[in-house]
Structure formats: C-alpha cells, structure tokens
Amino acid sequence: MPAMPVVSVAHMDKTVQAVVLGTGCLVASAAALKYYLNERTPKGCAKVRGSGWLGVLGALPEMWKCILKYEAHSELVKYHEDFGNTLDFDFGILQLFLAPMIITRDPQNVKFMLKTKFENFEKGETFHAIGHDVLGDGIFNVDGESWFKQRKTASQMFTANRFKQHIWRVVEKNCNKVISILAEKQEPVIDMFNLLNRFTLDSIGEIGFGADIGSLENPVSPFLKSFDEAQRILFKRFVLPGWRAFRLFGLGPEAETRQHMTALRSYSRRIVEDLADALEKPAGDSFVGLFMKNEPGLHPEFLADLVLNFLIAGRDTTAQALSWCLFQVMQHPEVEERILEEVDRVSFGKSLTYDQLSQLSYTEAVLREALRLYPSVPLDSKFVTEAMTLPDGTWVPRGSMVIYNSYAMGRSKQIWGEDAAEFRPERWLNAEPKDPYEYPVFHAGPRECLGKRLAMVEMKTVLAELLRHASFRLAVPRDQVLPDTAATLGMSSGLKCHYEMRL
C-alpha cells in the first residue's frame, strides 16, 4: 500500500486553512480559559452552584431572589448547615468578571483574617470603589497608613473623662426625649425601630460633631430616608455585576443613587462648615474637630467623608441592636421582669446614673445575647492580597473576597451548643469571656470597633429606661418583622409596637 502523502498547511485550500487555524485558536483559548478559571477557583471547601436554566449564572440568581425577599441571611445559615462552615459561591460565566467569593463561619478562619494575617486581608480596591459614594476615604473604607492615622485620632474621643463629662450627658438627655415622645404620643402603635434610629442619630451627631440633627423632633427628614437607601444600594453592589453601568444610567438598584448620595453629601458638608466656624467652641471637642485641630488644612471633602463614616457607625449599629433586643424581650416576659428587678435594685427606683451602668450585669447579658443572634454587621468582607490556605484547609486565590458571617456564627451549634437558636441571656452570666473570634459582633483584632463602649452605654441606658417607663408588645405577627438587606442589620418592616406607659 503506497504511503499517504503529507500535506502541509501551505498546500491546503484557504478555507481549510482557516478552519484548522480557527479550531486551533479555539482549543488554545479554551485551554487558557480553563487554566485561568482553575487558578481563580478556591479549593478545599464546598461549592454553591446554581440550578435550572439560570445555572449558567451560577448562584447569583438565587442570591438575588433571597435579597429581594429579605431572606439572604437566613438562607446563608441553611447553606452552612447543609454544606459546611466555609462556602465558595460559583457565579458561572460571570466568574470571568467577579472576584471569587468565599463565605466562612469558622472561628479559626475569622482569627486568621482579623489577627494572624491581618496585613493580607484588606478592604481593597473593590470595596473602596463600592463604598466610595458614601464612605469616601473615611476610616471604614481605607487600609494602611490612612486607616491607622484616622483610628489613632478618633480613639482620643473615648477617654474616661469624655464619657463622664460629655457623652453621658448627651445620652441621658436624648433618652429622656424618647421617653417624652412616648408619653405624649396619642396613636396606639409606634415604630420603635424608627424612634431608636432617631435617638442614635441625634446622639452621635451631638457627641461626634456638636451638631443638632433634630431627628427626634422631625421624624420625616429626607436625610433619614437617604441614609437608609444609600446603604441598601451599597450592599447590592457586591452581587451586581456591572453596577457602575447601572449607576451611570440610573437603572435598576441604582435608579435613585444620585438623589440619595447628593443628599448625604450636602448634609455632611454643612456639618463640616459649621464645625470650621466653631472650632474654639464645644464643637471643636468632636470627632471631626479633633482632625481639624490635629491636621490643619485637611480637604473639606475628606472631612465630609469622616462625618458620614461616624454617623453610620454611631447611628445604625446601635439602633439596630437595641431594636432586635427589644424584639426579643417582648417575646420573653421573664427576661423583661428580670431586667426591671435589676434596674430598680441598682437605681433605687430613680433614673440611672453613669456610675450605676456597670452594675447592670443581667441587662448587659440580654444585649449581648441579642447581638449574638442579630449582629449589627452580619457580613464583613476582606480581599486577600496573595493566594493562601485558610486554617480549615480552604485555598483562596489572590484577589478573592473572603467574608466572615457573624449572623451564621451566632447560630452555630459548634460554637454555642444545641440551644444556639434560643434567646437565653443566662449563657453570659458567670461564664468565661467568649473568644472575640467566635463572637465578632464588634469586629476583632486591630480593627475592633472603637465605639464598642459607647454603644454599650447607649444600649444599657435606653433599654433600662424604656422598660422602666413603658411596657411593649408586638403589633404585628413575629414573622412579619423582617431584616433589611443592607450593609447593617436593620428592619425592613420596622418594629411596630403597642405600648402603655407605666404609672
């Protein structure tokens, strides 16, 4: 049999040449793409994929479905229970454009992120871009030297003397305003979530900036709505590919972005202008006043960034924790009774003083238990600067977004035992202090919340005085009180309550 002739590409028909070369290019491209995706794929943990015809987009459609139904956090708990403590969320073809997303509730991983390898877990450029409209270059949106300098200056606000001479007076005054509003209100139902947000906003405004925000007197301020909507917008950007295009054209979740961001910026600029005119007055003794004194010549836009960072920190998290705590207390009359007994014993039936707050051990246990189940920051994300292996064996590629899930950690039986889902304040009494990496509700490590002590002072005072002056019960079924889908754990439904003033 004669040998088959060898045909070179040069002698092929041009059409055949094109097919051969095209096929070669496709094979090479597919191989390169497969290698690229493999290098960007976390390993050693469970993968959460999509299903049905939308599976081509991975888990993203299911995530959006949960977000729109206000079920994102409860669904994540189920994922952890079903698949494991560390999860890799597959985004299908969108994985080409999105950073790998790993969500963990393993305390070993949390400690690794927040302490052991702190320098390698940053807010990063992606987080900075997502949050820049609201946070700018403020303390919650930067890393490195800028973060360190801001934290060092801000920490000067939390001295023992400032607490006793300035902070306590503001908290006490605004707490009395809340009680007066309740006493004067004629309607049988009140939204306590709204009222507590107004309390914390006015308090941080005066404590932090010497500013009279006046939201307790004016509950319909458009600033309040923009404050909430802006945070919902930022949260959704994490799972909205191409959010910049949506923002540019004002579409979908970004339809009202310009309106709300402009309102926030205008307000924060006015506060900065007022502070600049009052530096030698009490207003100078404030968060932004400290920056103005320590670093003269700071750009007004940077100072406006600081205002919004501290307003968010001082208003949202504390009001939300108080609201979820009250939500639980209304369902546990034995807890309310024990709080009232403790407050009466400590205060001798009178208004609480600052020095008496430290004696409210059971009241503090109630607040800590509420924060366990409803952490004000339910999800916190970092971006890794280099590929590494987490303590539980999960390998994460460089540039991955690693999220620790405080909400799911608070419901983990591995951490809290078989009664993890139960509201039981007694677990905090006469017990060893919990490892902050098992209970990171105030963050942990070098970035632990500076306002932790301020939050506890506000929450103890308000919870004790509220219950001392009024009794509350839910005005809606329990399952109609829904968490919000935002960066912090608000209540999308509000907290509608019936209440009666005590004699």
Q: H or E segment at 287?
A: helix 287-294
CA 296, CA 284: separation in Å to the nearest integer? 13
Q: Cβ(115)–Cβ(437) under 8 Å? A: yes
CA 230 to chain centre: 13
Give the tokens for residue 244. Answer: 């910049």
SS (H, E, C) 365-404: HHHHHHHHHCCCCCEEEEEECCCEECCCCCEECCCCEEEE
As a whole number of angstroms, the distance between CA 445 and CA 230 comes to 28
CA distances from 100 to 103, 209, 384, 405, 429 (A): 10, 39, 10, 16, 41
From CA 71, how far away is CA 64, in angstroms rounded?
Answer: 10
Identity (one letter) of the amino acid at 153? Answer: T
**Lookup result for tokens 């509420």:** 370
25 is in an annotated binding site: no
Question: Could you tell me which residues come within 8 angstroms of residue 21 by beta carbon, excluding any fewer than 6 positions away?
Answer: none
Q: What is d(CA 92, CA 98) in angstroms, rounded to the nearest whole number? A: 10
Amino acid at 254: E
What strands, in cross-sheet order, belong to the sheet with 401-405?
46-48, 86-89, 101-104, 401-405, 379-384, 121-122
Expressed in percent and rounded to 5, the helix, strand and coil fractions of the chain are 60, 10, 30
As annotated, the binding site for heme includes 449
As annotated, the binding site includes 449
